[in-house]
Amino acid sequence: MIDVRLLVKSYGRVRAVDGVSFGVQEGEVVALLGPNGAGKSTTIKAVTGLLRPSGGTVSVGGHGLEREPLAAKAMLGYVPDRPYLYQKLTGRELLRFLARLRGVAEGEAKADAWLEHFDLQRSANELIETYSHGMRQKLTFAAALLHDPPALVIDEPMVGLDPRAAHDVRRLMRQRADDGGAVLLTTHSMEVAEAVSDRVLLLHHGRIVASGSMTELRQKVGVDDATLEAIFLQLTEEAARGAAA
Amino acid sequence: MILPAMRLRGALNALRRTPLRALVGVAMLSGVFIGVLAATRRGVRFLEDYPGIGSISGAVEQRSLEALFTVLMVAVAFSVLTGAIATLYDSSDLPFLLSLPVSAARVFGLKVVETYVNSALLPALFTLPVLVGLGIERDAPPGYYLIAVAALLALYALPVAAGALAALVLMRVAPAGRAKEVATGASVALAAALVLGMRALRPERLSNLTPEQFDQALARFAAWHVGWLPSAWGSSAVWRALRGEVSPAALLLAVVSVALLAGVARVAALAYRAGWFRALDAAGKPGVVGALPAARWEAPLARLGPAGGMIVKDLRLLARDPSQWSQLLVLAALAGVYFISTASLAAQMQTFRDLVGALNLMFLGFLMAGVGIRTAFPLVSLEGEGFWLLRTAPLRARQVVLAKFWGALPVMVLLGGGLGVAVAGRLGVSPVLAVASPIAGVCAGIAATGLGVGLGAAFPRFDATSPAEVPLSTGGLLYMALGLAYAALATLLFAYPSYRTLRAPGSFHWSSVEGLAVLGAVGVLTLLWTVLPLLFGSARLARYESGVG
């Protein structure tokens, strides 16, 4: 569903992403992990069309983001790490606007359903500027899911969410994949990544240094019961040592 | 002293980070200082040398200074209302400062000083060269400059204190979460009314007075003294200082100002602790719960697809964002001033009326260029940090740009065409110019919209905190240059029918070949100035990368 090939993104002489290739299939949750500055957000932004790759290709559902951007974007739902929304719209007005923008059939009914799903119906007619960070994050999820996209891209999904909402979002990501969707997420929470993802990609200095399922990663580090956190620490240290050498 | 030192350090660091901007700022301030100083000295000399002015020259100068003080105090009072809410009561660093082991009165004292600097510094810097010029021309003793600066600083403290107290009351009585909107609306409406009112007085009528009538008016102005006004205390303090004396008014002014500022800091501290700021909290009464259907007016626009959806969204944001609709109030005042100024030039002779009508064709282009930079140019940038919602949607940049264009076009066309009709009608110009005037207005409106939206999309500033900030960029400069070029070219095209009408009334007809050629040329010019910037803006916006550059 999501296909990234030899993705390069440079800022002047700095290569934030350096030849990254991966795919996210239908029915799969893939977690993109890495230390700060590894290139996770840059990769995500290139996948959603917010950044133009310096090299390589990105396609969604077989539609190249460069050649068929509208078809590719129509298949994507995106939740950014910082949920900047129009402060002076109400939650309901925002979803109504996005439904019109994306030509969603029965947009009103779908907006109501997602508002209810995220327990936002009581504040749906309030201005977004009155929402807490967690409420904005939930509204952003509703906005990303409104058009029922087959591919979901999520940057730091749990920031600001209360335990109940975090649990719901975790379940939702798994459910989307089980229903045949593709989910790509970045997170610093090893617990979330371990709980929901089928595969993990470990990014370091703009390159993928390890990828695979939890079993494959445990085999790679040679510890059968290693947690994802332990694997992450070991592999990033190895990558840092390799880069220094 | 730790808190002010911290603030000063922050300001210096900011200057160090942008040395070029600091240099430009200093150069501009120096230019203004030198210009105002020269104008003041020339004005004082003119008055001293005015034939027959005799002993009232000093009184005229003093009254003029009082008038300047009054106008600038009113300007400070207008700006301090919103400034006080933001700086004194709603600044993001307030919780941090109050968590420090410093008394709340001191923290709010610092905030009062910040409010003063933000609201009164520019008027004070503008007044300073006036006082210096006066001192130089009247050979004032060195102590004069000290007293004059102290009087100046004390004088502007009064509207700052009054505005800060008014803001405090507003935050209690305004609807919940709407204090800033109400303050902005009140400030802009009052400022617009003041500008319109002053223009409606038509000061140019003074030039119609006979020398005797002018002398009488001057004598009445010199005798016009309202002693209880703080501006009169200020001018009295300055005048006595010119003679090397310290006026009781100066002492009174200093005591009242310091006491008021200290009182405001104390009251603000008490009010903050008492949770007085009901209207500052965004959360008000619980709103309507349940599915609210779209408003009826949205339906026809919604049928236009994504563009209609964007226009609906923009209209809602316009209605709720005071920084946006206050721009429209400013424009309404600008249009009003233009209409009053042009209408006041109405004369008996048809030739003179047509001459003014011909000039109006030129001015309409300049006016609409000025309007466009405030309305059309910021439209794309107003998406702000929410632009990612459009960027990740299946939309072409061209659709976004065109939606902004169609959203702004009706307002601009109505304003341009309306002014064209109104001014031509009020002036009573010949039929040729009566037709040309609305055409010039409508075309200028279309071109300014295309140019503004297009260049605004090509040079977006999604990080701008207000629409007024958006044009302060390369794109804004380019817009002004091209907007003025359009006005100049349109003037050239309209020059021919205007010339023919002035030279031989009735010899030119719009239905003639030459008339149609002029209209065609204006149409082509307008089309070029509209379509090319929109294409350029769409192409640049398509390549825009969030968070880069």
Alpha-carbon torsion, ordered A223, A224, A229, A231, to 10 deg = 40
Query: CB A127 to CB B320 under 8 A?
Result: yes
- Distant-in-sequence, close-in-space partners of B392: CB < 8 Å, separation ≥ 6: A48, A49, A50, A73, A76, A78
Residues of chain A in contact with residue B317, where contact means CB-CB under 8 angstroms, are 86, 88-89
- Confidence check: pLDDT of B40 > 60: yes
Query: Which of A70, A100, A125 shows the shortest C-beta gap to B394?
Result: A70
For B67-106, write each residue's pLDDT tens digit: 888 878 887 877 787 777 777 777 777 778 888 888 888 8
3-state secondary structure of B140: coil
Q: Is B291 within 8 Å of A92 when comparing Cβ atoms? A: yes
Span B502-514, mean pLDDT?
86
pLDDT at A232 > cutoff 90: no
The answer to whether residue A12 scores a pLDDT higher than 90 is no
B179: chain A residues, CB-CB within 8 Å = none
Residue B495 burial (C-beta neighbours within 10 Å; 0-12, 13-18, 19+): middle
Task: Name the token pair of B525.
Answer: 């010019």
How many other β-carbons are positioned within 10 Å of the β-carbon of residue B139?
8
pLDDT band at B548 (very low <50, low <70, confident <90, very high): very low
Reply yes or no on whether the pLDDT at B229 is more than 70: yes
- Distance, CA of A63 to CA of A118 (rounded, Å): 31
Q: Please list, in sequence order, all residues whose beta carbon lies within 8 angstroms of the beta carbon of residue B316, skipping any fewer than 6 positions away.
A: A88, A89, A93
Quickly state the pLDDT bin for A245 (edges 50, 70, 90).
Answer: low
pLDDT for B350 beyond 70: yes
Interface of A with B (CB under 8 A): 11, 45, 48-52, 69-71, 73-74, 76, 78, 80, 82, 84-86, 88-90, 92-93, 96-98, 100-103, 108, 112, 121-127, 129-130, 143
Indicate the residue of A92, A96, A98 with minimum beta-carbon distance to B389. A98
Rounded mean pLDDT, A14-19: 88
Size of interface A-B (CB pairs under 8 A): 110
Where is B514: in which H helix or E strand?
helix B513-542
- Cβ of B309 within 8 Å of Cβ of A127? The answer is no
DSSP string, B447-464: HHHHHHHHHHHHS--TT-
Q: Which of B224, B46, B242 is nearest to B131 (CA)?
A: B242
Kindly state the average pLDDT of the residues B449-467: 90
Q: What is the mean pLDDT of residues A178-185?
A: 92
- Nearest CA among B6, B255, B256 for reference residue B106: B6
- Cβ–Cβ gap A93/B321 under 8 Å: no
Do residue A108 and residue B320 have CB atoms under 8 angstroms apart?
A: no
Question: Which has the closest alpha carbon to B187: B325, B87, B92?
Answer: B325
Does residue B429 have a pLDDT over 50?
Answer: yes
Q: What tokens were used for B378?
A: 């910021």
Q: Are B444 and B487 in contact (CB under 8 A)?
A: yes
Q: Percentage of chain B with pLDDT > 90?
A: 30
φ/ψ (deg, to 5) at A62: 85, 0
**What is residue A88's DSSP assignment?**
T
Any idea what DSSP says for residue B210? -
Q: Do B283 and A96 touch (CB under 8 A)?
A: no
Owner of token pair 């309404």: B332
CA distance linking residue B53 with residue B58, whole number of Å:
10
ipTM: 0.89
Question: What's chain A's length in residues?
Answer: 245
Instruction: Using a cut of 0.90, tell me whether the model's pTM lies above it.
Output: no
Residues of B with CB under 8 A from a CB of A: 177, 282-284, 286-294, 302, 305-306, 308-310, 312-313, 316-317, 320-321, 384-386, 388-396, 543, 545-548
The stretch B204-233 carries a mean pLDDT of: 70
Average pLDDT over chain B, rounded to an integer: 83
Q: Are B439 and B420 in contact (CB under 8 A)?
A: yes
pLDDT band at A184 (very low <50, low <70, confident <90, very high): very high
Query: Most B CBs within 10 Å: which of A44, A47, A50, A123, as the mutation test of the B interface?
Result: A50
d(CA B316, CA A127): 11
> What residue type is assigned to position B43 of the chain?
G
Residue with tokens 């004032």: B140
Closest residue to B388, CB basis, from A69, A74, A84: A84
pLDDT(B132) > 90: yes
C-alpha distance from A147 to closest chain B C-alpha (Å): 11
Higher pLDDT, B189 or B430: B430
Q: Of A29-38, A133-142, B466-475, where does mean pLDDT reach its minimum?
A: B466-475
DSSP bridge pairs for A210: A202
Looking at beta carbons, which residues of chain B come within 8 Å of A45? 546-547
Q: Which of B375, B371, B321 is nearest to B185 (CA)?
A: B321
Integer Cα distance of B515 and B216 in angstroms = 52
Instruction: Determine the pLDDT at residue B9.
Output: 82
Q: Are A99 and A136 in contact (CB under 8 A)?
A: no
Structure tokens at B395: 């939309």
In chain B, what percentage of residues exceed pLDDT 70?
86
Residue B176 predicted with pLDDT over 60: no
A182-186 vs A151-155, strand pairing mode: parallel
The shortest C-alpha distance from A182 to chain B (Å) reads 17
Query: Among partner residues A49, A88, A143, which is closest to B391 by beta-carbon distance?
Result: A49
Q: What is the pLDDT of residue A216?
A: 84
- Check: CB of residue B261 under 8 Å from CB of residue B252: no
Strand partners, A33: A202
Best interface-test mutation with A: which of B388, B395, B541, B544 has the largest number of A CBs within 10 A? Answer: B388
pLDDT score for A56: 93
Query: What is the rounded average pLDDT of the residues B343-352?
Result: 72
How far apart, in whole angstroms, are the C-alpha atoms of residue B470 and residue B378? 6
Residue A152 backbone dihedrals phi, psi, to 5 degrees: -120, 130
Contact A88 B321 (CB under 8 A): yes
Show the tokens assigned to B354. 């047509």
**Residue B87: per-residue pLDDT:** 78
- In whole angstroms, what is the distance from residue A141 CA to residue A76 CA? 12
Distance CA B375, CA B382 (A): 11
DSSP string, B388-436: HHHHTSS--HHHHHHHHHHHHHHHHHHHHHHHHHHHHHHHT--HHHHHH
Torsion angle, alpha carbons of B526, B532, B534, B535, to 10? 150
How sure is the predictor about B549, in pLDDT bands with cuts at 50, 70 and 90? very low
Residue A198 pairs with which residues in a beta bridge? none
pLDDT digits (tens, 9 = 90+) for B322-347: 767 767 777 777 788 788 777 766 66
Sheet hosting strand A76-79, strand order edge to edge = A76-79, A151-155, A182-186, A28-33, A199-204, A207-212
d(CA A33, CA A176): 20
A100 to chain B: which residues are within 8 Å by CB?
302, 305-306, 308-309, 312
In the block, residue with structure tokens 């105090």:
B73
Chain B residues with CB-CB distance to A84 below 8 A: 384-386, 388
Res B419: pLDDT: 92
Residue among B351, B528, B354 at smallest CA distance from B447 = B528
Least confident of B348-357, B397-406, B521-530: B348-357
Question: With the C-alpha atoms ordered B170, B171, B173, B175, is the resulting torsion angle positive or negative?
Answer: positive
Residue of A86, A98, A133 to mutate, interface with B, max B Cβ within 10 Å: A86
